[in-house]
Chain A
């Protein structure tokens, strides 16, 4: 039995070898070395700004790259990025960007205006298939180019006047255009690097790998271990490197939110992407300052298919909405981590506040339902809510089902569907009521209101209103002042909420755990973080412990 004995020896050795006590935590070593340990939610699809979409990707790309203008992390106002300044023509349609002569690629080469022309050609080119190509559609002729209606990129409104001057001509004044310059779909890539690995429009080349990638942000890519971690180091060529405090950042694909929270408690992370709902009351009660919650530019709502009975009747839709006690829902089911919503645009979206046309009013709801022909729920044909399989969505659907039953005496069924099946049902409009969320790409009511233009790709409700379309597509973009524009939005949104093709439920909040040693992460509406402003203070400990 030599086999058995040697086996026992080998396996005990193997276990012993790995069993040395846990040494220093990531946070302690990170604070000493200036290394931020960052929970990033998921493994990124990739790092090519014109190919990938998603929140974890956004965090990584914005650490590696920088746009022409960036957002101030406190106020979200635009401030200089690659462009040291810009001029806007009086009619608001021509932007001239003056590129900072010190702005460099991570290989030391200067960034030029023609790099932007090349990159935007790539981002808009139909062969690239960028999902976010539409972010550049405010630029004159860009939509036609992206849809192959024109093929000559020189007709698109972007020109390099000289090495450091970029002129961009828009279709209409677009007050949020500077914000789009901080979205990764508008970032420049290094043309020579991409061409070394393939064609301009290739999606699959290894140009973003460690050793290949050339970027222009505060950090450069050092290591990318699939599903394990991504390590970035402070860039040597970044124009503002003197103001970058961190020496590097380690991003972890923390998909499992429960593990992520435990990693935070064990000081393996400085920062978590989310906080599990059931842990939040504990953090609040103990007054733990690590828990940071802030309003977030996103709305959770139910889509209503306006072509399917009984919800094809606007009276029914309004009755359903009035019967919901959103305060109770956000307080109990959501543990005060959400804000009741009565319209699609989140409150105070850059000074714009949406109309509030109704409140919880069961009496009125019953009356409307009776007018629609279902007094006290009699003759109710039934209704189904679909949602993608997730515990949080289920809890909300159950609460809604309960409220409709008790207030209106109507039976509603709820059905979960696997993510892609649910997406298919929604896009095929194969539902009566479907759960939906929308997170803004930029801070402007337009980003929420243009969802519901007739046949819009994200409309999905069958809602069609010519006056609404006219306001959003023609009148608002031509508005002379911000007040005029906002009052047009208000008018359109009022129309939308009278017709109720959606039932708004709540406004999202962002929720993070932030280690006390971290300074420079400010809560804001975009949950936008600029790592270049982050600083570590080793003396500040978790729970004031002195270990």
Chain B
């Protein structure tokens, strides 16, 4: 197992390196620069700015300078926000996005697993069709539609919950978490239904039922562990996806997270910010994929045996 983890970490290094290099040169080749603005920039001002950000150096020197700063953990100064470093901006946005992602994932798991298990117990009946139909709608409904709908109903008409902000007013974290989590809830519902269906048809479940165990004990003690493996495997990429994909929800609800900076950086040609967020998020994605593989292996004896055989 340790060897497996070690190998995966070694493999991650070239992946991240390629991401850095490709991003670095791709953003530089995009038309327009960080200092272009609607009002013409005087040439002498532009020269001064480029000198302050070392953009006057040849591109390959800038690249190596960036790599050397990066190896010290320094992601450079932001172009768009003078006086702030990319490290500082990531540091301020990450906890918020992570918190939002965690709530969204908790919501998704709670609703998704319940609905999936419930549906799998009586497949092809109304008890199956209704939650699965809702799940299908949940997958299809984009967050830029669901968010404003929830806001209209719970924020404006019913006036139960605040409609924007993060930690400013009581309850303002609920709507964004539900909005972000619902698509994942729907996906998890389908995954857990499929997983449970497979397990529930296994011989050991039949044995458990034959022993006369009540159905809820069959489900909770025997079926869930195996049935939820596809869900666990999905959690790593899901959390990484929540972190990288929270832009829409952050914008709708005015949440000071990472996603807004990430997308705006590209529009602003904020070179260091684009690179910083890309490097950071790709590292996270690699890391979470690894974790979910490890957990899935630990839960599933068959997979565990495979790793042993392979190693």
CB distance from A427 to the nearest CB of B (A): 7
- Asked if A1 contacts B48 (CB within 8 A), the reply is no
- Bound-complex Cα distance A148 to B45 (A): 11
- Bound-complex Cα distance A351 to B205 (A): 88
CB distance from B57 to the nearest CB of A (A): 17
- Bound-complex Cα distance A8 to B106 (A): 8
- Interface centre among A126, A148, A209, A420, by most chain B C-beta atoms within 10 angstroms, is A420
A159 at the interface (CB under 8 A from B): no
Q: How many A-B residue pairs have CB under 8 A?
A: 188
Given A129-B52, A228-B256, A457-B40, A1 and B225 contact (CB-CB distance below 8 Å)? yes
Residue of B nearest to A7 (CB): B109
Q: Which of B9-17, B66-74, B167-175, B303-311 contacts A (4 or more CB under 8 A)?
A: B167-175
- Asked if A1 contacts B253 (CB within 8 A), the reply is no
- Asked if B39 contacts A204 (CB within 8 A), the reply is no
- Bound-complex Cα distance A134 to B43 (A): 12
Which A1-55 residues have a C-beta within 8 angstroms of B? 1, 4-5, 7-8, 10-12, 14-15, 18-23, 26, 43, 45-46, 48, 51-53
Chain A interface, >50% SS class: loop
Q: Which of B148-156, B193-201, B285-293 contacts A (4 or more CB under 8 A)?
A: B148-156
- Asked if A203 contacts B106 (CB within 8 A), the reply is no
Q: Which of A174-182, A257-265, A472-480 contacts B (4 or more CB under 8 A)?
A: A257-265
Contacts of A252 in B (CB 8 A): 254
- Asked if A19 contacts B174 (CB within 8 A), the reply is yes
- Interface centre among B33, B52, B107, B113, by most chain A C-beta atoms within 10 angstroms, is B52
Contacts of B256 in A (CB 8 A): 225-228
A421 at the interface (CB under 8 A from B): yes
Given A268-B165, A458-B39, A421 and B228 contact (CB-CB distance below 8 Å)? no
- Asked if B220 contacts A15 (CB within 8 A), the reply is no
- Interface centre among B31, B221, B253, by most chain A C-beta atoms within 10 angstroms, is B31
Contacts of B31 in A (CB 8 A): 420-421, 424-425
Contacts of B89 in A (CB 8 A): 226
Contacts of A226 in B (CB 8 A): 84, 89, 92-93, 256
Contacts of A162 in B (CB 8 A): none
CB distance from A389 to the nearest CB of B (A): 10
Interface range, A side: 35 or more
Which B221-238 residues have a C-beta within 8 angstroms of A? 221, 224-225, 228
- Asked if B163 contacts A262 (CB within 8 A), the reply is yes
Residue of A nearest to B178 (CB): A15
A106 at the interface (CB under 8 A from B): no
CB distance from A231 to the nearest CB of B (A): 11
B207 at the interface (CB under 8 A from A): no
Residue of B nearest to A148 (CB): B44
- Asked if A21 contacts B49 (CB within 8 A), the reply is no
CB distance from B173 to the nearest CB of A (A): 5
A11 in complex: contacting residue of B48, B77, B107, CB < 8 Å = B107
Contacts of A205 in B (CB 8 A): 83
Given A15-B177, A134-B42, A206 and B83 contact (CB-CB distance below 8 Å)? yes
Given A21-B170, A22-B170, A262-B156, A420 and B30 contact (CB-CB distance below 8 Å)? yes
- Asked if A419 contacts B267 (CB within 8 A), the reply is yes
CB distance from B43 to the nearest CB of A (A): 9
- Asked if B162 contacts A133 (CB within 8 A), the reply is no
- Bound-complex Cα distance A23 to B170 (A): 7
Contacts of A437 in B (CB 8 A): 38
Contacts of A210 in B (CB 8 A): none
Contacts of A48 in B (CB 8 A): 82-83
- Asked if B160 contacts A131 (CB within 8 A), the reply is no
A253 at the interface (CB under 8 A from B): yes
Given A18-B174, A203-B52, A227-B256, A259 and B251 contact (CB-CB distance below 8 Å)? yes
What is B's interface to A at a CB cutoff of 8 Å? Answer: 30-33, 36-42, 44-46, 48-49, 52, 77, 80-84, 89, 92-93, 103, 106-107, 109-110, 113, 148, 151-152, 155-156, 159-166, 168-174, 177, 220-221, 224-225, 228, 251-254, 256-257, 260-261, 267-269
List 20 other contacts, CB 8 Å, given A256-B254, A420-B268: A4-B113, A15-B106, A18-B170, A18-B177, A22-B162, A23-B169, A46-B81, A48-B82, A53-B37, A53-B39, A126-B48, A129-B48, A204-B82, A225-B256, A227-B261, A259-B254, A266-B155, A266-B156, A420-B33, A421-B31
